[in-house]
Amino acid sequence: MSKQIAVVGQGYVGLPLAIAAAEAGFSVVGIDINRDLVKALSAGTSPVGDISDAEIAHAIARGTYCASTDFSLIADCEIAVICVPTPLDSEHRPDLSALESAVHSVATYLSEGSLLIVESTIAPGTTREVVAQIVGSDKNIEIAYSPERIDPSNKQWNIRNTPKLVAGLTPSATDRTVDFYSAFINRVDRGESVEVIEVAKLLENSFRLINISFINEIAIFCQKLGVDVRDVIKAASTKPYGFMPFFPSAGVGGHCIPVDPSYLSAKAHEIGAPSRFIDLANDVNRSMPTFFAGIALGKLGTLAAKKILVVGIAYKPNVSDMRESPAVELIAELRSRGAEVSWHDDLVGTWAGESSTPLTADYDLVIFVNPHPGTDISLLGTAHVLDTRGGY
């Protein structure tokens, strides 16, 4: 196999895809506008935990992968895949600026009859109404949508064994996209239309947001009732059907769960459809940092001049990703009430000009958000602990 492909965006989504395709025999150029990232990749250094330095170095040595900031290399590629972030703006509205910029840059160099695949999370209709309009019809470019399903640090499910959803704007685009992914993914499923797959992606993570927000409300109920929500979840999980366990937290974070439902909600408002469950779930999720600041206040009597340590500030264990992490709002809320807040996270290391603080017992309160499995909590000694994951 010698097909040349380009993967635009070399982060948590694009890099695993690029390396998997390279290992399958494709000739892959990973394109990113971040020059420091490209320099690190070219030196065989991985920026994400799911891909090792050795995997990158091996692909480079084989000549099946290279990293570049040069979009003109797309001119030699039969397939281009866009894996750029589609976050929310400061008012929690969908921000497609990175995607639109990437599509414009890619479209400039796409060759006649090539295939463009979008993996970024988007609202229904975006592939047809935005991406296709930017690309135009001059070069007969075929376009497909296949949403990413990357779960960083998940040791069971990865890019190869997680089923892939695919739909093209034409049957030919669908066929070509299925053929591409089937070279390195075990199962590839065709959708009835790109809109079906666009909504399916948003449904997956809206389902998770709603259920996590729901269990956070149940956890508050259990706290007031005087029972441990973790025991309740364990008991309910004995039912072999009709129940799926979700777990409480200080709020969901990352590039998917707190973001994707807002794309669905925004589209719902645009077309006049209800999205009350999503809107309520977002409200509950975003209120959790304030709720836990209130719990801390109840434990200490006052937060003014109190020394508080937040442990695990990444959005989930075993990653260093701070995107949409609830710890950010929790720290800000505690500080706004006068607390002297430090944080500990070995994987994050540095954030917002601050550094991770060593674990000691010298705090009025320690708050667990997302401690990593290797965190030695015994170093906290007899410090009072508030665990946002339950039992508070």
Active site residues: 256
Alpha-carbon dihedral sign for residues 108, 110, 111, 113: negative
Evaluate whether 119 touches 146 at the Cβ level (below 8 Å). yes
Q: What are the tokens at 62?
A: 């084989």
Q: List all residues 6 or more positions away from 69 whose beta carbon is below 8 Å from its beta carbon.
A: 31, 32, 33, 34, 35, 38
CA neighbor of 153 nearest in space, from 258, 51, 54 = 51
From the number of C-beta atoms within 10 Å of its C-beta (0-12, 13-18, 19+), residue 99 rates as buried
Q: Give dist(CA 113, CA 7) in Å, integer.
A: 17
Q: How many helical (H) and strand (E) elements, i.e. helices and strands, does the chain have?
A: 12, 14
Q: What are the tokens at 325?
A: 């992490």
CA neighbor of 292 nearest in space, from 332, 323, 265 = 332
Evaluate whether 74 touches 31 at the Cβ level (below 8 Å). yes
Evaluate whether 41 touches 14 at the Cβ level (below 8 Å). no
**CA angle 240-241-247, nearest 5°?**
80
For residue 174, the surrounding DSSP H or E stretch is helix 171-182
Beta bridge partners of 6: 29, 80
Residue with tokens 């004995």, as numbered in its chain: 238
